[in-house]
Amino acid sequence: MTDLPGIVVTGVSGRMGRMLVDTIVQSPRARLIGAVERSGHDWIGQDVGTAMGGAALGVTVTDDAHGALANAQAVIDFTAPAATVEFAAQAAQARAVHVIGTTGLSDDDLGHLSAAARHAPIIRAGNMSLGVNLLVQLTKRVAAALDDDFDIEVIEAHHNRKVDAPSGTALMLGEAAAEGRGVRLADVRDAGRDGMTGARRRGDIGFTAIRGGDIVGEHDVLFAGTGERITLRHVATDRAVFARGALKAALWGQDKGPGEYDMLDVLGLKDG
């Protein structure tokens, strides 16, 4: 039992945090050894299982991430950019695998993550599900096969509490489409249309974000040509798919050296 990788969950009171706890506890391949929340949260000092409304799990919620990570083999982190940057430094000190599902990271944030990845593995993805990562590969291939006569639009829908747009998954898909076409997404990104925007520029990759209700995650990549359209689609109906993917990444990373990885590495879907 003690030979199983010990995993810490950050942001443990959130929807993904709770799902991760359940997934790890039910897994025969990992142990939950830490649960971290922000300072002042009313879960601090409580057993994470009872805080979640269930049986005690023998893990106390703490705001001391450094202490929680000291003996961890992995940390799974679906929090906020500023917190993720701090956790990356602490995970690097502990030489623990850092699995990151946090979205909305800035270029500066990514620079800090790259620095941390020189000391320990970081596995980061805008989406941890197998289906979405297959969709990323399909998007890249279809974009490579079609020329600029086909406009590309990434359409995503999420629940009304999601704070960033476009979603991390939508940006993954946009990057895949741009890579397929041999261009930089930053040069062709078309987002935030409102008012008299003028005609669409040939070759642009557009983004549309929908927020409402309790939508878990829906992503479409539309290739719209004259007289025909191709739509690639993924629909998630249960957050458990993300939690299972994150745990898979944490376990995959146990024998990996320092560096930056993503779910395509974990799933063996990288080209070449």
**Catalytic positions, please?**
158, 162
Pairing of strands 74-77, 61-62: unpaired
CA distance 168 to 166: 7
What would the DSSP string read from start to end of 68-89? HHTT-SEEEE-S-HHHHHHHHH
Backbone dihedral region for residue 190 (phi beyond 0: left; psi -120 to 50: alpha; all else: beta): beta
State the amino acid at position 152 in one-letter form: I
Count Cβ atoms below 10 Å from residue 252 Cβ, excluding itself. 20
- β-pair partners for 255: none
User: 111 Cβ partners below 8 Å, 6+ apart?
Assistant: none
Label each residue of 126-144 as H, E or C. Answer: CCCCHHHHHHHHHHHHHHH
